[in-house]
Amino acid sequence: MDEFVEPLGPRILIRKDEARHETKGGILLPDQAEIPTITGRVVEVSVEVENDEEFPVAKYDKVLFHPKHAIPVDLESNNVLYVVPVDDVVAVFRRAPRPSRKEIEDDLADGSDDDFGDEG
């Protein structure tokens, strides 16, 4: 029988991202200067959160969360899972939809440049 964690109430289950030991610029950091990571992937959401339209977070979303009330779950040996109240999720990472080929061709054809407003 496989075990799984089902969050109850207004909570979600997050697999925390690994802490970084290197900056984006490639500078290696000593262990004491580790950059704290409070981002992760939503592994599971409670039924209450799933049905709440005011809180748009879903399974597999990447989120930024405040770790103060996060409860660690020791279910997987190499992954760090946390049950987190939805109120402690402060952001969801989204990607802007890519424009279709037709939209790009239409913009090029009419010569409009929507990204830069002409003020003169």
- Under the banding of pLDDT at 50, 70 and 90, the label for residue 106 is confident
Model confidence pLDDT, tens digit, residues 20-51? 666 667 766 666 555 565 899 999 999 999 99
Residue 41: predicted pLDDT: 95
Question: How would CATH label the architecture of 11-95?
Answer: Roll (2.30)
Mean pLDDT within 54-72 = 90
Q: Which residues contact 74 (CB under 8 A, 6 or more apart)?
A: none
Query: What's 22's DSSP letter?
Result: B
Minimal CA–CA distance to 15: which of 27, 2, 23, 5?
5
- Domain boundaries of the chain, sorted by first residue: 11-95
